[in-house]
Amino acid sequence: MQRHGCVIRLRPEHRETYLRLHAEVWPGVEKTLREANFRNYTIFLHGDLLFGYYEYVGDDYEADLRYIAADPKTQEWWTLTDPCQESLAEPGSGDWWAPMREVWHLTDEATGEAPEQTPAG
């Protein structure tokens, strides 16, 4: 399993549209992400920054990214969400969301694995 973090700027004038779209993400988009071995995908908002986190459980990340990009439903979704965003990725990198480098990760003491997450109470 690989952990991925990425960041992008949310255009203030499109904030409500973006939040409305993500209140009810299309089932076909979610299905494609699952088929492409993405798990625990979460998007957080801080001011005008969106932070994305997901876990990749497949064997060929680049092929799975191409699978997502080729999906017509996902392409349609992106026509709605992309105008809401301003990329922070390095020009010419081919990335839309800027990848983030993991600098620390808490693992479970006994197993060396990430601790079981439970809802905050």
CATH number, position 7: 3.30.70.1090
Q: Is 106 a member of any domain?
A: no
Q: Is 73 a member of any domain?
A: yes
Q: Is 50 a member of any domain?
A: yes
9: closest CA among 60, 45, 42?
45
* pLDDT confidence of residue 116: 54
Number of domains the chain is built from: 1
* pLDDT confidence of residue 112: 64
* pLDDT confidence of residue 107: 87
Q: Is 119 a member of any domain?
A: no
Q: Is 7 a member of any domain?
A: yes
The rounded distance, in Å, linking the Cα atoms of 67 and 120 is 35
Task: Report residue 121's pLDDT band, with 50, 70 and 90 as the boundaries.
Answer: very low
Task: Report residue 113's pLDDT band, with 50, 70 and 90 as the boundaries.
Answer: low
Contacts of 79 (CB under 8 A, 6+ apart): none
Per-residue pLDDT reduced to its tens digit, 11-48: 999 999 999 999 999 999 999 999 999 999 999 999 99
* Residue 86 host element (H or E): strand 85-86
State pTM to two decimals.
0.84
Phi-psi group of 95: left, alpha or beta (phi > 0 → left; psi -120 to 50 → alpha; rest → beta): beta
Contacts of 83 (CB under 8 A, 6+ apart): 11, 14
Q: To the nearest whole number, what is the mean pLDDT of the chain? A: 92
Residue 118 pLDDT greater than 70, yes or no: no
User: Which tokens in the block code for residue 76?
Assistant: 């349609």
